[in-house]
C-alpha cells in the first residue's frame, strides 16, 4: 500500500509542476499515470483527472492573475466556450468505448507534441 501511495503523491507533484509551469498539461500526465501506474479504468481516469485539475487550475489562476501575466478578457470569453465543451464532453465520455477513447487521446497527444516541437 505504501508503494501505491508513493506513486499517487509523485503523480500529484509532477502534475502540479507541469500545470504550474505550462498553464495546462496536467491531464497528459494524469490520464496515463492513473491508467498505467495506478490501474484506474480509462473512463474513471479521464473523469477523475478533471476533478484533480480544477484545484490546480484555481491555484495557478490566482498566481498568474496576481502576477499580471493573465488576460482576464480572453479568459472569460474562452471559458464560456470551455464550459459548453466540457459539458458536452462529459456527457459523451461514457458513450465512447475505452479502446476508441484511448486512441483518440493518443492521437490528440501526438498532435499536441508535434505542434510543440515544430
| CB 49 within 8 Å of CB 34 | yes
Model-level pTM greater than 0.75? no
Among 9-23, 47-61, 80-94, the range with the most confident prediction by mean pLDDT is: 80-94
Mean pLDDT in the chain?
Answer: 89
Beta-carbon-side half-sphere exposure of residue 57 (alpha carbons within 13 Å): 12
Mean pLDDT of 107-118: 87
Question: What pLDDT is stored for residue 20 in this prediction?
Answer: 78
Question: What pLDDT is stored for residue 64 in this prediction?
Answer: 87
Q: How confident is the model at residue 10 (pLDDT cuts 50, 70, 90)?
A: very high
CB count within 10 Å of CB 3 equals 7
Q: What whole-number distance in Å separates Cα of residue 77 and Cα of residue 26?
A: 22
Domain that holds residue 30: 2-117
Structural domains in the chain (count): 1
| DSSP single-letter state for residue 23 | S
Amino acid at each position: 500500500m505504501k508503494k501505491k501511495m508513493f506513486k499517487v503523491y509523485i503523480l500529484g507533484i509532477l502534475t502540479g509542476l507541469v500545470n504550474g509551469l505550462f498553464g495546462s498539461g496536467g491531464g497528459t500526465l494524469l490520464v496515463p499515470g492513473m491508467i498505467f501506474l495506478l490501474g484506474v479504468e480509462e473512463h474513471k481516469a479521464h473523469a477523475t483527472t478533471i476533478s484533480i485539475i480544477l484545484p490546480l487550475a484555481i491555484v495557478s489562476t490566482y498566481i498568474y492573475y496576481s502576477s499580471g501575466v493573465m488576460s482576464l478578457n480572453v479568459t472569460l470569453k474562452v471559458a464560456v466556450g470551455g464550459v459548453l465543451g466540457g459539458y458536452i464532453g462529459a456527457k459523451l465520455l461514457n458513450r465512447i468505448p475505452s479502446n476508441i477513447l484511448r486512441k483518440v487521446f493518443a492521437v490528440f497527444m501526438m498532435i499536441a507534441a508535434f505542434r510543440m516541437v515544430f
